[in-house]
Chains A and B, each alone.
Chain A
Amino acid sequence: MGGGFHMTLFLVRRMAGFAATLFVAALVIFLLLDLLPGDPARFILGINATPEAVAALRTQMGLDAPAHERFLAWVGGMLVGDFGLSTTQRLPVAELIAERMAVTLPLSLIAMVVSVVVGLPIGILAAMRRGKATDTALMVLAQTGVAIPNFWFGMLLTLVFAVTLRWLPTGGFIPWDEDAGAAMRGMTLPGLALALPQASILARVMRTALVDVTEQDFIRTARAKGMTKSEAIWRHGVRNALLPVLTILGLQFAFLIAGTIIVENVFYLPGLGRLIFTAISERDLVLVRGATIVLVVVTTATMLVVDLAYAFVDPRLKGRDA
């Protein structure tokens, strides 16, 4: 069948699509921010600055070059890791983002791992006990988990585990290279707070997918071969039901990277969400631009990973553009 060839082709196509998406995204981000009213140079210098001073700063910042040159300079710089200088903090954007990613990325990963480890088994258990008391109880729990705001849950966790039991810190962040154990402890409660709604959604999606799969003919075939219903679901159902779950997982991870700002605030964590928030309010366009493109890269890369995972799990997709 030339499976290897098809797989290579598939990879090449996906990577090419990935690169194209990033290029288009960079163009859109650049154009939108360029069209935004407000002059960064004037913003930095304040209302009282002379037009000459503003013009001088514009030249210094490269703002007077034609748009296409600035775009190419920006993209070219990023390819070698230079995202430009933050206009407000006068520091390299790449450095600022990397510093924040050291908080946000592990936090998101912890939340993901917890939500998978908790959510999937709950979903599977509920599907296997469909219509019984266990199913109802678990789904009520999941519904509650979706409904509870994560900042409230975060405060509750702080109250119980930090204030009362004093097991974990209430907030703040100690850099990884200073004390990795302390950094990890600092991430635990916010990670849990972020994981709760995600785990609840995963449990519901997993349950629905598995219930659907259970009604498929091949589960009956597996039972005809001599399996009990639960053996058939376990061996043939779960892997098939994971397909829709994969998509949700990808979306959740992308959301976590940018969507942790409330929890970051609750736990005083210097994460990417807070950085972007500050940059927007201070009109630091270079920083906003850099952070946005990083989010696009993370999201697109996640989708790429999901696609590749699909191809790995589902043989029907190999070497196809579906």
Chain B
Amino acid sequence: MALVEIDHLTIGFDGRKAVSHLSLRIERGDRFGIIGESGSGKSLTALSIAGLLPDAAQVSGHIAFDGTPLPDSEQAMARLRGKRIGMVFQEPMTALNPLMTIGEQIEEAINLAGITEVMPLALPDLLDEVGLAAGHVGRFPHQLSGGQRQRAMIAMALASQPELMIADEPTSALDAITQRTVLDLITDICKRRHMTLLFISHDIRAVAALCDRVGVMRAGELVEQGDTGDVFRAPQADYTRKLLAASQMQRRDRPAAATQADGAPLLRIENVSRVYRHGGLWPWRDAPVRAVDGVSLDIAAGECVALVGPSGCGKTTLARMIVGLDDVSAGQLVFDGAAYRGRNLPPLLRAGLSLVFQDPFSSFDPRMTIGDSLGEPLHLLGRLSRAEHEARLAEAIEAVGLSVAMLERYPHEFSGGQRQRLAIARALVTRPRLVVLDEPVSALDVSVRGDVLDLLSRLQVEHGLTYLIISHDLDMVAAMADRVLVMEKGQIVEEGAPQRLFAEPQHDLTKALMAARLPEIAA
């Protein structure tokens, strides 16, 4: 008998269907992966098994756990969750109570499980199992790293010795290295405990590495399901084929970089540091944080340089100083022959530099039309005639493959992929020479990442752009960059062409990043 049986599950909000007629079976001991993009209904499906759907959801269909339909009473459903289902969620910072130590929170899960027949799992054993030191018991969530928080979350999920563990994007909020260790941990635990796993992800490679069965969801429907090997070797649905293709990053080759005639770099970073002080005027304030620590590098015109490193390594701080959003504490920057220290970057020079942010959802003012948002950087160029202003907007939006008519619309009318195109258009509107791309595709669904990268490659050739890409996604970096810089604790620790760097990493961090890459799916 299947552990979870879902029959014709339909979930709607205000008459709009978010999941429609979904049927699937998860056998005991399976590691079942559901893959799909944001809004495909995969998380709702998972929540419905645990009876945790939002109150506003209208549900029809049938769900059985271990042969018995899910109970209607909230009390009984809560007890079922507490004793037989463990859950791990995406964002471990917000998923833990900030006012309680993780020890208290894990203990609460042990007590709620109320295991009487077997000795309850002691707290130290659980911590040991998820790789947390005993000393972490008394810590609050904000005192732990993202990976440690997710380990605490997993310990809570395991406390009741559940038969089913539901992991909803458990690693998407973590950096590459932590992501891999947490995935490995989940795999180990499932194998050791013979636990059934329902793993929800948008990352097809994570699902391939972790799961033996897979379902592919799109727009609320399960378009394909089967053994992971079979589905990925011979996908039946077009959508699955598209996802597979998108997961394989092809190297985007361009004509060789045309360096400036005099050989001077377009951007030169000279021994730049950024130090943050905390604690105000008090003499006993905390030691200053060196976010960027003596970084020097040159970027030639037409180059595509990538800066990789774990979260908190200082790569975004460096980018902010380059585009003039923050000041250096020491050292200087030279762009196109003019030296600056950050915010003193003169407007006309500033127009030659652009920044594209990671999240296309929060980087547009929702109350401004796209035309107004795109036109804002143009003030850097002084007064433009109305015709010139409009010509610039048209040029930029057409360059990213969208139409002039869209300038009248508002951000919420666009999909994530379209918004990132618009963000790129906004970066191009001043006809810059250097574009800094901070995680340009990591907030996008896998299927549109390829399109956006193709667009970036095309624009680089057409407009003779120079790119500085900031990312922790090594595959994307390998596909795009001419040169890769590896950053750790504010310093650049390794540098080289991506092929060489990834084939023979020298520094420990580069090695760790390489080891954390999930295996490619065998074609």
Most chain-B Cβ atoms within 10 A of its Cβ — which of A221, A224, A235, A315? A224
Whether A228 pairs with B94 at a CB distance below 8 angstroms is: no
A282 within 8 A of B: no
Alpha-carbon gap, A228 to B52, bound state (A): 10
**18 sample A-B contacts, Cβ–Cβ < 8 Å, listed by A number:** A1-B139, A216-B94, A220-B95, A224-B52, A224-B85, A224-B89, A224-B157, A226-B160, A227-B82, A228-B78, A235-B108, A236-B97, A240-B97, A240-B98, A313-B99, A315-B101, A316-B140, A321-B278
In the assembled complex, the Cα of A240 lies from the Cα of B159 at a distance in Å of 24
The answer to whether A315 and B81 touch across the interface, beta carbons within 8 angstroms, is: no
Q: Does A45 contact B (CB under 8 A)?
A: no
User: Quick one: CB contact mask for A223-248 with B, threshold 8 Å, 1 for yes?
Assistant: 11111110100011001100000000
Chain A residues whose CB sits within 8 angstroms of the CB of B142 once the complex forms: 315-316
Asked if B209 is at the interface of the complex by the 8 Å CB criterion, the answer is no
| B269, CB-defined interface residue at 8 Å | no
| Cβ contact of B143, chosen from A1, A225, A228, A236, cutoff 8 A | A1
* Cα distance A231–B78 in the bound complex, in angstroms: 10
A225 near B99: Cβ-Cβ < 8 Å? no
How many B residues have CB within 8 A of the partner chain?
Answer: 40
A34 beta carbon closer than 8 Å to chain B: no
Q: Interface residues of A, CB < 8 Å — how many?
A: 26
Interface of A is mostly: helix
The 6 closest A-B pairs by CB, nearest first: A226-B82, A224-B87, A226-B112, A217-B94, A315-B140, A217-B95
Cα distance, A224 to B466, chains bound together (Å): 48
What per-residue 1/0 map shows which CB atoms of B141-181 lie under 8 Å from chain A?
01100000000010011011000000000000000000000
Rounded to whole angstroms, the CA-CA distance of A224 and B429 in the bound complex is 48
Q: Are A223 and B284 in contact (CB under 8 A)?
A: no
B70 CB to nearest chain A CB (Å): 14
In the bound assembly, the distance between CA atoms of A213 and B157 in angstroms comes to: 22
Q: Min CB distance, A71 to chain B, in Å? A: 25
Check A225 against B52 for contact (C-beta < 8 Å): no
A218 at the interface (CB under 8 A from B): yes
Closest to A219 in B: B97
With contacts A9-B284, A321-B280 taken as known, whether A221 is within 8 angstroms of B82 at the C-beta atoms is no
Contact among B89, B108, B109 with A220 in the assembled complex (CB-CB below 8 Å): B89
**Could you tell me the distance between the alpha carbons of A172 and B294 in the complex, rounded to whole angstroms?**
74
Whether B79 is near chain A, meaning CB under 8 Å from some CB there, is yes
Does B14 belong to the interface (CB within 8 Å)?
Answer: no
Contact A223 B97 (CB under 8 A): no
How many angstroms between the C-alpha atoms of A236 and B79 in the bound complex? 18
Query: Taking each of B78, B109, B143, which has the highest tally of chain A beta carbons within 10 Å of its own beta carbon?
Result: B78
Q: Does B426 interact with chain A (Cβ within 8 Å)? A: no
B170 to chain A, nearest CB (A): 13
Is residue B96 contacting chain A, with contact meaning CB distance below 8 A? yes
Mark B473-506 against chain A: 1 for CB-CB distance below 8 A, else 0: 0000000000000000000000000000000000
Please tell me if the beta carbons of B112 and A218 are within 8 angstroms of each other in the complex: no
In the complex, the answer to whether A225 meets B140 with C-beta atoms within 8 Å is: no
Cβ-neighbour of A224 out of B50, B139, B278 (below 8 A): B50
**B362 at interface by CB-CB < 8 Å:** no
List chain A positions with a Cβ less than 8 A from chain B. 1, 9, 13, 216-218, 220-229, 231, 235-236, 239-240, 313-316, 321
Question: Are B143 and A221 interface neighbours, CB within 8 A?
Answer: no
In the complex, what residues of A have CB within 8 A of residue B89's CB? Answer: 217, 220-221, 224
- From residue B173, how far is it (CB to closest CB) to chain A in Å? 11
Check if A239 sits within 8 Å of B99, measured CB to CB.
Answer: yes
**Are A321 and B99 within 8 A (Cβ)?**
no
Q: Tell yes or no: B113 within 8 A of A by CB.
A: yes
B282 touches A221 (CB 8 A): no
A222–B97 contact, CB under 8 A? Answer: yes
A218 cross-chain contacts in B, Cβ below 8 A: 94-98
Q: Given known contacts A221-B97, A223-B81, what 14 new A-B pairs fall within 8 Å (CB)?
A: A1-B139, A217-B89, A217-B91, A217-B94, A220-B89, A221-B87, A221-B153, A225-B81, A225-B156, A226-B82, A235-B108, A236-B100, A315-B142, A321-B278
CB B212 to nearest CB in A, in angstroms, measures 24
CA distance A313 to B97 in the complex (A): 12
Write the chain B residue with the least CB distance to A231. Answer: B78
Write the chain B residue with the least CB distance to A9: B284
**C-alpha spacing A218/B140, complex, angstroms:** 13
| B165 nearest CB across to chain A (Å) | 11
Q: Which residues of B contact A240 (CB under 8 A)?
A: 97-99
CB distance from B328 to the nearest CB of A (A): 25
- For A242, the closest partner residue in chain B by CB is B99
A131 to B156, alpha carbons, bound, how many Å?
32
A231-B78, A314-B99, A316-B98 as given contacts; A225 in contact with B109, CB under 8 Å: yes
Q: How far is the CA of A183 from the CA of B83 in the complex (A)?
A: 57
B74 contacts the other chain (Cβ, under 8 Å)? yes
Q: Report the minimum CB–CB distance from A11 to chain B (whole Å).
A: 13
Known: A226-B112, A315-B140, A316-B140. A221 touches B75 (CB 8 A): no
For residue B79, which residues in chain A have a CB less than 8 angstroms away from its CB?
226
B279: interface (CB < 8 Å) = yes
Q: With A and B bound together, what is the CA distance between A229 and B50 in angstroms?
A: 13
Q: Which residue of chain B has the shortest Cβ distance to A3 in the bound complex? A: B138
